[in-house]
Amino acid sequence: MTETIAAHPELFKDVSPKAMEYYCEYPKGSKKYYAVPCESDALACAYRKDLFESAKHKAGYTKFVDGIQQTTSEHAAEERQLAVPRTWNHLLLIARYFKEASGEPDLVGVVMPTNRGYDEVTMAYEPLLWSFGGDWGDQKTGTVTIDSPQAVAALSFMKQLVGTSSEGGKAMGYSGVQTTFTSGRSAMAITFFAFFPAFASKDVNRDYWDKTGYFNLPAGPTGKRYTALGGQGMSLNNHISAERKKEAIDFMMWFSKPEVQAKWAAMGGYSANMKVLGSEAFKKAAPYNPLFEEAFDRMQDFWNVPQYDQMLSVAQDQISAAIKGEISAEQAVKTMQAKHEEALRGK
């Protein structure tokens, strides 16, 4: 698609460079494109505003924190307040309070995707990995760096977060996150923007649709905030007739027009066109939409290499085993390091 995209600069001049890199480019940094952006997505968090704004819980939370945490952290003062968290530690404290000390029956702190199927638990781990200062590795050189103290700390922290979830929280899929939150059994839910329409729906989230707020994922010890990339690009099969290729490319170029992207966004899709994302029309279309433009700048991706599926399966198995307590975080990252290196070497 490289020449086709170059021939239509007006369609892609406002598309996020990250979208072009993550959804369309291979190899990384080559400026060779095999797709156009289609559905963008990222992880963020929904929360129960009625619980966060309750005077009873505000007082109870501060008392709870004062009883368990003695710290001189620069964030200590704000972490004593029940409010939208700007740090992962703050989010953990809030989650612990609602599960351990809020007095709300059958309420847990936070739910997130932790299922071992396909990519779920890995997606939940990634924002922690990056915000704690770790990384999967250098894709350009094929160097794996997951075996680091930062990666271990992030996985150990994730295990604590999952500890504030429900009994099924160690193996929860996207649908489980949605049903647990909309049934009023969790104070917070981490999931992809694509699932947020259910949280804002009067039909799906009947008791809490107007009591649900949203925020982008907080910062880790590095002070930086990241989110996991979701969504996908749109590509075409090269093994078809020239006529069908032309029709497919014509459709892809039509779909990439700014006015079509604006309609796509108005219907609930997530464009990669930054002008569309920055428009007042998009921001007013849903209560969580104003967060998406900010989230786009914080997106990072998993390995975008032919061996990604093999590497993803390893990550799924090891991260899942660690949060279930079957192996240590140290064991998990060492195994990922070794098996990822084997995958890249073709073994």
Q: Which candidate, 130, 134, 121, places its Cα nearest to that of 337?
A: 134
Token pair belonging to 99: 């599960």
Whether the per-residue pLDDT at 261 is higher than 70: the answer is: yes
Q: Specify the CATH superfamily of domain 44-228+305-344.
A: Periplasmic binding protein-like II (3.40.190.10)
Question: Quick one: tokens of 110?
Answer: 């936070």
Residue 283 predicted with pLDDT over 90 = yes
Which tens digit of pLDDT belongs to each residue from 157-216?
Answer: 999 999 999 989 999 999 999 999 999 999 999 999 999 999 999 999 999 999 999 999
Neighbours of 31 (CB within 10 A): 12
Q: Are strands 108-111 and 36-48 parallel, antiparallel or unpaired?
A: unpaired
Looking at residue 282, its pLDDT comes to: 95
Q: Are 72 and 95 in contact (CB under 8 A)?
A: no
Looking at the predicted structure, is the pLDDT value of residue 106 above 90?
yes
For residue 75, name the pLDDT band (cuts at 50, 70, 90). confident
DSSP 24: I
Q: Stretch 249-271: mean pLDDT, rounded?
A: 95
Amino acid making up residue 177: V
Percent share of the chain, pLDDT over 70: 99
- Closest residue by Cα to residue 64 from 104, 110, 96: 96
How many other C-beta atoms can be found within 10 angstroms of the C-beta atom of residue 17?
10
| pLDDT given at position 144 | 98
| 3-class DSSP assignment, residue 229 | strand
Q: Is 148 exposed, middle or buried (0-12, 13-18, 19+ CB in 10 A)?
A: middle
In this model, does residue 10 exceed pLDDT 90? yes
What is d(CA 321, CA 328) in angstroms, rounded to the nearest whole number?
8
How does DSSP classify residue 169?
G
Burial 207-220 (b: 16+ CB within 10 A, else e): ebbeebbbbbbbbb
Average pLDDT over all residues of the chain: 96
- What is the structure's pLDDT at 341? 98
d(CA 218, CA 110): 14
Q: What average pLDDT does range 288-301 have in this prediction?
A: 94
Contacts of 24 (CB under 8 A, 6+ apart): 1, 5, 33, 34, 35, 36, 37, 233
Residue with tokens 């786009």: 296
Question: In the numeric block, which tokens belong to residue 174?
Answer: 């996207």
- Note the pLDDT of residue 72: 64
Beta bridge partners of residue 231, listed in sequence order: 40
Say if CB 265 and CB 258 are below 8 A apart.
Answer: no
What pLDDT, on a 0 to 100 scale, did the predictor assign at position 66?
Answer: 93
List every span in the chain annotated with CATH 3.40.190.10. Answer: 44-228+305-344
